[in-house]
Amino acid sequence: MVTAAMARTTLCVCVCLLASQVATSHVPEKINRTIHNLLQHYIPARERFKGQPVFSRDLLGTKLEAKEVLLSAALQTYEELIQRMLKELPGDESADVRADLSYVLERVQHLRRFRFQEQDKLLEGLHTFQHIQVDNELIRSKALWELPWLYEEASSLANKRRQRRRRKAKWPRTFQTESEAH
Amino acid sequence: MVTAAMARTTLCVCVCLLASQVATSHVPEKINRTIHNLLQHYIPARERFKGQPVFSRDLLGTKLEAKEVLLSAALQTYEELIQRMLKELPGDESADVRADLSYVLERVQHLRRFRFQEQDKLLEGLHTFQHIQVDNELIRSKALWELPWLYEEASSLANKRRQRRRRKAKWPRTFQTESEAH
């Protein structure tokens, strides 16, 4: 009986360890392998490490919300990049390269569409605001007309943020005083 | 004595009301007046209200962090728009129009630079990520090489966010159970 219980416990521990290992791995092994194949097909390693990286890690060292928006933009760039690579692939190119690129594209699209919907919506809004036709006279006049409420929104939001920060900075001291009083 | 006290109270109430009114107004009166002058100089009102607005209020109906980023982008667009208007202003144009445009530009720049620094940094990062040369072979190869860690970052962040939401959704129930237990 003791041996059977021990065996069950050992089995449970093994399953738990395996599950935790699976849970901490976010990149499917197939992606790493596929990217490795693609890199071998494209440019040799010595070229790859020249100069600055494309996606700077420093830029991503920011607070959670900003990091999510930046990662969403990076995934969007990867989608465009791989789609172009697929489009420019010669017809006689190995079917393996096409399959590899398609697989990586599918994983990137899946991650972006199912996990970064909120950030994608923000990026769409930014695109609209950043691509306003500032040369068009009617657009200029309408934009000027809309400036007072937008200025009001921006100023009040900035003030709210500052007040919130001040409250947050004060909070532990107040809390300590209250705790001491009780 | 009662009359003097009443007068003091009335004065206090008046000062408080005035102060709260000043505190809730975020747009300097001079901006509204200046924009009104500019609108009269540029296009008549009947043109101004045709079609869709330039800066959609619907887009700004989002959560605080996203709204701040959108407003920062809108202010950036205004800066570009007014700078172009100033540049294209004929030399013989009224000095008043130039002074009005310069004043509005200065207010927009001030608001953006002193209250939206954090968001501007994010917008700069986004600009870098969105303008990567996806046609350059070396950039493509380097980007592919960097994909595994970026995919890992994006997946783990998305998972963390989901876990945080689940914890938040569960929290009141747990709290209730704990309260009931004590």
ipTM: 0.72
- Side-chain-side CA neighbours of A36 within 13 Å: the count stands at 5
Question: A26 φ, ψ to 5°?
Answer: -105, -15
Contacts of A118 in chain B (CB under 8 A): 66
The tokens for A81 are 């990049």
- Residues B29-75 have pLDDT tens digits of 888 899 888 888 886 666 667 778 888 888 887 788 889 999 999 99
Q: Strands (DSSP E) along B36-163, which ranges?
A: none
Contact call for A154 and B74, based on CB within 8 A: yes
Contacts of A109 in chain B (CB under 8 A): none
Contacts of B79 in chain A (CB under 8 A): none
Name the maximum alpha-carbon separation found in chain B.
88
Residues in chain A: 182
Q: Which of the residues A129, A160, A164 would you substitute to probe the B interface, choosing the one with the greatest number of B C-beta atoms within 10 Å?
A: A129
Name the CA radius of gyration of chain A, rounded. Answer: 26
Give the span between the Cα atoms of A17 and B140, in whole angstroms.
Answer: 38
- pLDDT number for residue B101: 94
What are the Cα distances from residue A19, in Å, to A14, A111, A128?
9, 21, 44
Residue A81: pLDDT band by 50, 70, 90 thresholds? very high
State which residue of chain B sits closest to A59, comparing Cα positions: B125
Contact call for B54 and A142, based on CB within 8 A: yes
Give the span between the Cα atoms of A116 and B162, in whole angstroms.
Answer: 11
CB atoms under 10 Å from CB of B171, counted, come to: 10
- Residues B113-144 have pLDDT tens digits of 988 988 999 999 999 988 899 998 888 989 99
The tokens for A118 are 């909120």
Interface size, chain A vs chain B, as Cβ–Cβ contacts under 8 Å:
238
CB atoms under 10 Å from CB of B62, counted, come to: 16
State which residue of chain A sits closest to B136, comparing Cα positions: A81
Sign of CA dihedral B16, B19, B23, B24: positive
Give the span between the Cα atoms of B130 and A124, in whole angstroms.
Answer: 12
Q: What is the dihedral of CA B90, B92, B93, B98, to 10 degrees?
A: 80
- pLDDT number for residue B20: 43
Q: What is the mean pLDDT of chain A?
A: 79
What are the Cα distances from residue B96, in Å, to A27, B34, B90?
61, 10, 13
Lowest mean pLDDT among A36-40, A102-106, B114-118, B177-181: B177-181
CA A58 to chain centre: 14
- pLDDT number for residue B179: 40
Lowest mean pLDDT among A115-124, A139-148, B13-22, B135-144: B13-22
Task: Report the residue from B47, B74, B156 with minimal CB separation from A138.
Answer: B47
Contact call for B77 and A130, based on CB within 8 A: yes
Question: A50 φ, ψ to 5°?
Answer: -75, 135
Contact A77, B134 (CB under 8 A): yes
Contact call for B62 and A153, based on CB within 8 A: no
How does DSSP assign A87-116, residue by residue? HTS-TTS-HHHHHHHHHHHHHHHHHHHHH-
Contacts of A148 in chain B (CB under 8 A): 27, 31-32, 35
Give the span between the Cα atoms of B80 and B84, in whole angstroms.
Answer: 6
Task: Report the residue from A75, A146, A157 with minimal CB separation from B54.
Answer: A146
Contacts of B47 in chain A (CB under 8 A): 138, 141
Contacts of A151 in chain B (CB under 8 A): 26-27, 31, 107-108, 111
Query: In Å, how far is A181's CA from the nearest CA of chain B?
Result: 23
Contacts of A81 in chain B (CB under 8 A): 132, 134, 140, 143
Contact call for B69 and A132, based on CB within 8 A: no
